Chain A
Amino acid sequence: MKISNMLKRNQQMQSSNAVKDKFRQSDTVAVNDGPKIKVRKNGLVLAILSVLLIVIFLWSFTVGRYAVPLPQLLTVFFSKLSGQSAAWSDALETVLFNIRIPRIIVALIIGAVLAASGAAFQGIFRNPMVSPDILGASAGAGFGASLAILYSLDSLTIQLVAFVFGIIAVLMTYLVSGLISRRNNSVLVLVLTGMVVTSLFSAFISLIKFTADPNNKLPEITFWLMGGLSSIKPKNIPLILVPSIIGIIPMLLFRYKLNALSFGEEEAQSLGIDTKKIRFIYIICATLLTSSAVATGGMIGWVGLIIPHLARILVGPNYKFMLPASILLGGSYLLLIDDLSRTIFTLEIPLSILTAIIGAPFFIYLLYRSRSAWT
């Protein structure tokens, strides 16, 4: 970072230099060094973020109730890998493989996919204030879960119903906005329709809460919606892992093209991008990701909004680096939040409360930091 700043300053000084030859010379030097340094710097940041993720991952085992010390954890991992017989208690085995590992994995995935969807949507909708639930995925999934809880379905079915309704909500947004704007296929109409669908499903959620039994169903629904991972079991993993992998691979593959979309529909087309196709791919992928995340962990806000901003500060707006950085940061962030949620008090704090309490001041800080860009 320091080196590139120095280069920049150096260049600005040179550009005001009247001696043309000298200016040309030093300019070509910068031309040769600039991009390489930038790529190397961004590669380094991604490597550091990966290490950070691994550190937080390991640390997560050592905190909270039934904490597993690091040496013991590593012994268990290596014994499992080499197929040696168990030299630890059954209680540890149960805690580790039925509770702790599933929860840590799910927290990591949810954070990563919410951040990835937020980053992609901010580019597609050319707006840094967009979060992944803008097209209704979150409200739809919330409605599905509430409905499933109302009918006393088991946790796996709740997850499945929520996932399906998240997709239905976005499908509704997409089809209705398609009917309204027909040929123009305007992004603004899509976003406005998303708002309508979101408030519609929010009303349905309220309706379910209103009719739910206030002694057991209503608190259950309310707590589910606030987000939490305390009830995650190994059987919940496939329904988040599979859609996440299916959704995140195309996102990563096409990510360089996303850059052009943030210059607007026609400009992106003139650069050779089939904007309709790219936008469709990203909306499908982000919907898969967001629906499965909300279906598994409840409505967790703020992650998809602030993590892409943080990633942009660290590696710049180019999606080639920014999307992987968002994924790594998002995973680390939500894992840390979940660790906090189960360690601060004896009673677990719902995730959406923590993400908002931490996210709000952080976002204010971001606004303050980049105030010149917002006014």
Chain B
Amino acid sequence: MQTTVNNTEQVYKYEEKISPKERRVAWLSRIVLWIFVAIVIFPMFAIVSASLTEGTGFATTNLLPKSVTFDNYINVIKDTDFLVWVKNSLILCISVSVIQVAITMPAAFAFSKLRFFMRSKGLMSLLILQMFPTTMALPAILTVCINLRDFIPVNGTDNIFVIILLLCGGSAYNIWLMKGYMDGIPQELTEAAYVDGATTMQVFIKIILPLMRNMILVIFLFSFINAYSEFIFSSALLKNPEVQTVATGMRSFIKDKFSANWTQYSAAAVMASVPVVLLFMGLQKFIATGLTAGSVKG
């Protein structure tokens, strides 16, 4: 299915001679790459360095801390609601990812492997839906959530489950992506199973899902990362300090309070980023293919 990401690297056993010109080009490229690397690393370095600096503000003009301290990390955990934000974000992100996978896989299976009435119309509406971000419907969602108590005994605001449900509505893109992948599973596989007397459910669970293992991971990770940085609904609907997420909590922690909170903020930023970066790096191989396959069909 995938022809664009062919591995064309070949391992030559013999040492290739590099001409002087090629060597010059390589060194020039290296120097430019070093500049790139410096631009990418510097901001992260500055944050890590600030997080290890004594004191609270940015009053220091040193890029390197004079003495290393982990006080900021300890203070963030002890004195702020950081752990509450992390807990809320984890509840939000894990729920959204699990529900997204649970919604997406069966729907993609139906579109890819079952023939049904209005199938192509349904696919077309998925395509149209995925280009309208739900955040554009903010006026409507705000009105409904603020007045939700008038209709059902559930709080529309300050309720993390409302955010979870709102984020689960955006599955059109994922369904489209997964459908493309399932199309790559040969029809013979499923037909052979039907001949052996398997039910549709068995085909879905025993054949399709195991083959889609990597892509399930990708959907899970994408949904997780998106929910982790979700800001619009969270900040509009979650006002209470107990229901803040990492994104909204950290913003209120730093907004207009630089001089007071910078070093602690940096410590929180490091703690909030490192696990996500590691997760991303670990699954990078799948992510790269997952992304290109969405829009490029080889």
Q: Do they bind each other?
A: no
Binding site for B on A (CB under 8 A): none
Binding site for A on B (CB under 8 A): none
